[in-house]
A = this chain, B = another copy of it.
Amino acid sequence: KFAVKSRQVDYEKQQQQSISPSRKSPNGQLPPKVFVSHSIYKGKAALTVEPRPPQFSTLESGAIRVSKEGILMLQFAPATGLRQYDWTRKQVFSLSVAEIGSLISLGAKDSCEIFHDPNIGRSDEGKVRKLLRVEPLPDAVHNKFTSIEESIYVPVTKAEFAVLMTACNYILPHLLGWNAFANSIRPDDAGRMNNASSRSGGESEWER
């Protein structure tokens, strides 16, 4: 298990480096940030998936809405030795909610390709681009996650894929911020809700 720990230290270092001072909470008022991920370590490369939260903004009314949906970061790192991975050479793929939809709707024999271009809609569109390809392997129990930039790929077993899909299905509503809505449903606001009810006529589907 030693090798595993050393990998985790690598990953932790990488995480700490990417945390800017502004994220620290000097006065301790804010709850601490929580980083979670899930990694699949294979002989030639490792794949880590890590969700990033949605962002919210406050309306003039005091109500809150989602201003930006969360994402799922996929990170590919090449192996440099037995159970050692070089995270400085990592390739990062940031999946939007719709792109996560592509993953979770993959049939057993389906493959999908996702292209990203940092210059999309600009004059230099197409000069640089990334490709994530997920495809079944001939043995039928593996999928192959490939980041095409420098062609790092990770074979993923049916069992590992099931874990990824369960995690994706779990996290997706949170990336949409729908858990914030769910948590705002408070039965002890019964009176308030009734007020809302008397008001809600103006929002029905029959009035514009």
Residues of A at the B interface (CB closer than 8 Å) are: 1-3, 8, 12, 15-16, 18-20, 22-25, 30-38, 51-70, 73, 90, 92-94, 97-102, 104-105, 112, 116, 118, 121, 130, 157-163, 166-167, 169-174, 176-190, 192-197, 199-200, 202-206, 208
Contact = CB atoms under 8 A, between A and B. Distances in A.
A203 B56 contact: no
B58 A18 contact: no
Contacts of A105: 158-159, 161-162
Given A102-B159, A163-B101, A176 B22 contact: no
Please give the count of copies of this chain that the complex contains: 4
Nearest to A53: B185
A203 B162 contact: no
B171 A24 contact: no
A70 B118 CA distance: 37
Contacts of A56: 187, 189-190, 193
A166 B38 CA distance: 21
Contact of A205 (B67, B69, B94, B174): B94
A87 to B, nearest CB: 11
A178 to B, nearest CB: 5
Contact of A23 (B18, B70, B99, B199): B199
B205 A59 contact: no
A180 B57 CA distance: 22
Contacts of A158: 101, 105
A161 B98 CA distance: 9
A117 to B, nearest CB: 10
Contacts of A130: 205
Given A62-B32, A167-B173, A184-B34, A73 B205 contact: yes
